[in-house]
Amino acid sequence: MRLRRTSAIAAVAAAVAATTAAVYPSAPADRLQAMPALTAPALAARYTADAHQIARAARAASRAGNTGLAHSLNGMRGGQYLDFNPAGQGLAVEVFGNLATATRVAILVPGSDTSLTTFDTRGTASPQGAARALMAQARELAPHARLAVIAWLGYKTPSTLSPAVMTSGDAGQGAAALRPFVDDLVRHGHQVALICHSYGSVVCGLAAAHLPVTDIAVVGSPGMDASSVRALHTTARVWAGRGTGDWIQHVPHVHFLGLGFGQDPMAPAFGARIFSCGGGGGGHSDYFTPGGAALRNLARIALGDPARVTR
């Protein structure tokens, strides 16, 4: 019986893998622009150039009748973008704060179902809204801190309803793009923290090995494609939090024939520092809601203030 069950699982896994390969063929890692010099003039030039690109893309989307994308792109106008690419699902890297004078940078890595169309249209459940809320909370906690927050849509995210969301294929491409981005910031003298939501925590887990970051915090994580903090091969403080009403807690934490992401980061055996996300049944998209314990603790992690993180 056990043999037949194992064979059946293997057959299903193979079928899913075949479907994934057909629908989501392998592609090279997403390409981001090279980091400019982190000076006020160089950053201003990059922000201006990307603002022009966003405006052109918004007009093109409107002419094509893609009202959802046009609305989102129009909402992105006026932001500080280190990167923008409208091809496919799109890439966008938005900066909150003064990157030229910051000493710490928090990079927010989003999860599945994130694209240019949803980059700023779902409130704090979108990368832009989450990063803005994180920055506002950090300023409230430490008004004089030299912190910048980056909403990093630097990879093609899978759809929640697709087979790809059960594998680390897209996450691997995201990790390959995230590593050099972090390295560039660190070379410029910044301390970096990663704030990783949902499938974004798989990206962070794959990127973590020997990455020069001070903290990696995951929320609503399906797993980090690792069995433990030790297996991440990082010297960073690794944090994990989950709301009591988050459906992700019911996802099986397995790793079998390329499916699943392994141990639950909330499990004691994983070894992460567990932080409070408050009571009240916070859901999968509620971690960056203003006034919540999750946002306060994520801001403290972003600021590099581990002693004030509540457990």
Whether the predicted pLDDT of 7 surpasses 50: no
pLDDT of res. 281:
63
pLDDT tens for residues 184-208? 999 998 999 999 999 999 999 999 9
What tens digit of pLDDT does each residue of 232-268 get? 999 999 999 999 999 898 887 776 666 778 899 999 9
Task: Work out the pLDDT band at 51, boundaries 50, 70, 90.
Answer: very high
Q: Which two tokens stand for residue 181?
A: 């981005």
Q: Range with the lowest mean pLDDT among 56-65, 116-125, 156-165?
A: 156-165
Per-residue pLDDT band for 10 (boundaries 50, 70, 90) equals very low
pLDDT surpassing 70 at residue 38: yes
Question: Pseudo-torsion of CA 221, 224, 228, 231, nearest 10°?
Answer: -160
Q: What is the mean pLDDT of the chain?
A: 87
**Cβ-based neighbours of 92, under 8 Å, separated by 6 or more:** 76, 81, 83, 84, 85, 116, 119, 127, 151, 153
Domains of the chain: 82-305 (3.40.50.1820)
pLDDT classification of 32: cutoffs 50, 70, 90: confident
> Would you say residue 86 has pLDDT above 70?
yes
pLDDT of residue 257: 60
Q: Is the pLDDT of residue 161 over 90?
A: no
Name the nearest CA neighbour of 111 among 213, 197, 15: 197
pLDDT for 256 equals 61
Per cent of the chain over pLDDT 70 is 87
Judged against a pLDDT cut of 70, whether residue 69 lies above it is answered with yes
What's the confidence (pLDDT) of residue 280? 61
Output the pLDDT for position 13.
Answer: 36
Report, as an integer, the average pLDDT of 162-171.
Answer: 76
pLDDT of residue 282: 77
Per the model's pLDDT, the better-predicted residue between 154 and 262 turns out to be 154
Burial category of 50 from C-beta neighbours within 10 Å (exposed 0-12, middle 13-18, buried 19 and up) = buried
